[in-house]
């Protein structure tokens, strides 16, 4: 099980070894943070093979830029930012937003749907992976990773209204899936990345 405590002495040693381009240290760091990083990749990816590709690209960037890491700060958030940015870059080149409606053009938006019960991480992950890349990317960026609509619009080169629309549609699609699986109701069993993901609200209220 990967620990979130990246201040442990072994992790510090791994990082120091990676700065020296030590292969064993790179393998050890990869193994130590594999589960954490793969969890982020799976949120954005269409499939596990895609997630694996994003993961490998992410760690390549980590090892290439680890000399710029500030050891006075926590390592895991620094790593997580690289992974999420790599995932966003991967899909930004493939996303097609032209067919998505700008929220400001919706004369009669559907009514808000109530919040959902907490789901098992694996179940919610499967639902999110069923979304289109555009909906999934905006949902992850806004509801999980904390980007604003202005930031999403700038990064993905879309309008703020399109970002809001994609988030709205993503939550609506997820709610529709939940209606079909009304018996799914779970408690959060573990903290960290999974808990943050599970706490992303699925109601369709525009934010």
Q: DSSP code of 206? A: -
Looking at the structure, tell me whether residues 121 and 193 fall in a common domain: yes
Q: Final residue of a domain: which of 37, 64, 92?
A: 92
Looking at the structure, tell me whether residues 71 and 110 fall in a common domain: no
Instruction: Write the pLDDT tens digit of every residue in 117-139.
Output: 445 667 778 888 899 999 999 99
Residue numbers of the domain that contains 137: 103-198
- As a residue count, the chain comes to 207
Q: What is the pTM of this model?
A: 0.73
Looking at the structure, tell me whether residues 108 and 149 fall in a common domain: yes
Q: Output the domain CATH number for residue 64.
A: 1.10.1740.10
Instruction: Write the pLDDT tens digit of every residue in 58-98.
Output: 999 999 999 999 999 999 999 999 999 999 998 887 665 44
Looking at the structure, tell me whether residues 80 and 160 fall in a common domain: no
Highest mean pLDDT among 32-46, 102-116, 185-199 belongs to 32-46
Looking at the structure, tell me whether residues 131 and 159 fall in a common domain: yes
Closest CA to 62 of 86, 38, 93, 32: 86
Looking at the structure, tell me whether residues 70 and 153 fall in a common domain: no
Residue 206 lies in a domain: no
d(Cα 202, Cα 114) in Å, to the nearest integer? 8
Contacting residues for 90 by C-beta, under 8 A, at least 6 apart: 44, 50, 53, 54, 57
């Amino acid at each position: 099980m990967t620990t979130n405590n990246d201040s442990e002495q072994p992790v510090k040693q791994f990082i120091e070894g990676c700065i020296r381009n030590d292969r064993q240290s790179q393998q050890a760091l990869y193994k130590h943070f594999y589960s954490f990083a793969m969890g982020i990749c799976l949120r954005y990816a269409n499939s596990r093979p895609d997630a694996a590709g994003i993961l490998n690209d992410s760690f390549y960037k980590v090892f290439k830029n680890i000399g710029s890491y500030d050891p006075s700060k926590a390592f895991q958030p620094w790593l997580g930012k690289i992974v999420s940015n790599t995932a966003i870059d991967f899909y930004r080149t493939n996303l097609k937003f032209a067919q998505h409606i700008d929220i400001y053009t919706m004369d009669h938006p559907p009514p808000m749907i109530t919040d959902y019960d907490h789901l098992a991480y694996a179940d919610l992950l499967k639902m999110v992976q069923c979304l289109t890349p555009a909906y999934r990317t905006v949902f992850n960026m806004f509801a999980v990773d904390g980007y604003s609509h202005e930031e999403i619009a700038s990064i993905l080169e879309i309008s703020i209204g399109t970002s809001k629309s994609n988030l709205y549609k993503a939550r609506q699609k997820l709610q529709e899936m939940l209606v079909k699986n009304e018996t799914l109701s779970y408690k959060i069993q573990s903290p960290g990345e999974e808990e943050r993901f599970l706490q992303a609200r699925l109601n369709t209220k525009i934010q």
